[in-house]
Structure 1
Amino acid sequence: MTRHAHRLARWQRLGLFGCGALLTLSGVLWLALHYSVGAGAGELPHPLEAWAIRLHGLAAFGALFMLGVLAASHIPQGWRMSGRPRWAQQRGSGASLCALGALLALTGYLLYYFAPESVRPALGWAHSLAGLGMAALVVVHRRPKSR
């Protein structure tokens, strides 16, 4: 196996990081618009709020597709390679990324379809924190390792 056999193909990296960046930016934009200083009880939502969440949902579909792409080759191959000392630390961050991805898909689905109004704020904050955690963990998982 060559040194870079575990690396994602260029289209996979672009798709994954593109979806991830779009998810993060649209989610942060929605949070900023929804919880802005001017927002108060009885006020109308910001006009861009609906577009930010629509963009977030679209990017989520792309991210789910990319998770399937990763599940087909990168994850199993990375799991096998993580037996080597140089790659062992990526097993933990990779498993954490998979768990966060599943949590984000579940909480996003619940927010969109099932969450009662009494649970929505807490579930929304859990979803937001998990998303920011995932964005940070991608950087840790991706960083070059020393030899």
Structure 2
Amino acid sequence: MPHRRTARLASWQIWLLCLSGTGLWLSGAGWLLLHYYGQVEGEFGPEVNPLEPWMMKLHGLCLIPALLGLGGLFVAHVPKGWNHTAQRLAGIVLSLVLTVLVSSGYLLYYAGGETLRAGSSLTHWVLGLALPGAFVWHYLNGKRVRRKRK
């Protein structure tokens, strides 16, 4: 059950976001490694690794619970947490990173032009790889702030 008076998340929300986020990170990093370093030698030269499309499918599958979890954050966690000024900057940075990741992922899927697609791709994988750092900063900063209040 969510904490009604605080910005703290319910344990199931934390698990949902951590598991889906880990799945997204691992499948995205796996795709990157396969795409740039995992080509296989085919009959006519280098070819896409057969696991690469499966990494992308897994990435999309992990996105579904992640988006559900993010929706919950923006309904309860963010509004209740806004008053915690010591945590605000870390929360804003994390929210911006997540917003750009979702937007750039959309552009990768639906953008038609190669220039826009190339920029979206670079933005998406750089921020995706950096996301755990933003999350850990937000999480540890929240723990530090709570310890100070006690």
Counterpart for residue 20 of structure 2:
19
SS at match of 1:43: strand
Q: Which consecutive segments of 4 or more residues in structure 1 shift more than 4 A? A: 37-42
Q: Per residue, is there more helix in 1 or in 2?
A: 2
Cα deviation, residue 28, structure 1: 0.3
1:135 maps to 2:132: yes
Q: Aligned runs of 1:1-147 on 2, under 5 Å? A: 5-36=6-37, 38=39, 43-80=46-83, 82-83=84-85, 88=86, 90-143=87-140, 144-145=143-144, 146-147=147-148
3-state SS, counterpart of residue 35 of structure 1: helix
Taking the aligned partners of 1:58 and 1:64, their CA distance within structure 2 comes to 11
Paired amino acid for 1:75: V
Q: Structure 1: which amino acid aligns with 2:61?
A: L
**TM-score computed with the length of structure 1 as normaliser:** 0.85
RMSD over aligned Cα, in angstroms?
2.2
Aligned length: 139
TM-score normalised according to structure 2 size = 0.83
Structure 2, unmatched stretches of 5+, are none
**1:39 CA displacement:** 6.1
Instruction: Write the deviation string for residues 86-126 of structure 1: whole angstroms up to 9, x where unpaired.
Output: xx1x2111111111111111110110111423443332111
CA contact (8 A) 2:39 2:48 kept: no
Give unpaired runs (5+ residues) of structure 1. none
Q: Report deviation, 1:37.
A: 6.0
Tell me the distance in 2 between the aligned counterparts of 1:22 and 1:7: 23
Tell me if structure 1 keeps the 8 A contact 2:21–2:66: yes
Seen in structure 2, the aligned counterparts of structure 1 residues 129 and 115 have a Cα distance that, compared at 3 Å, is farther
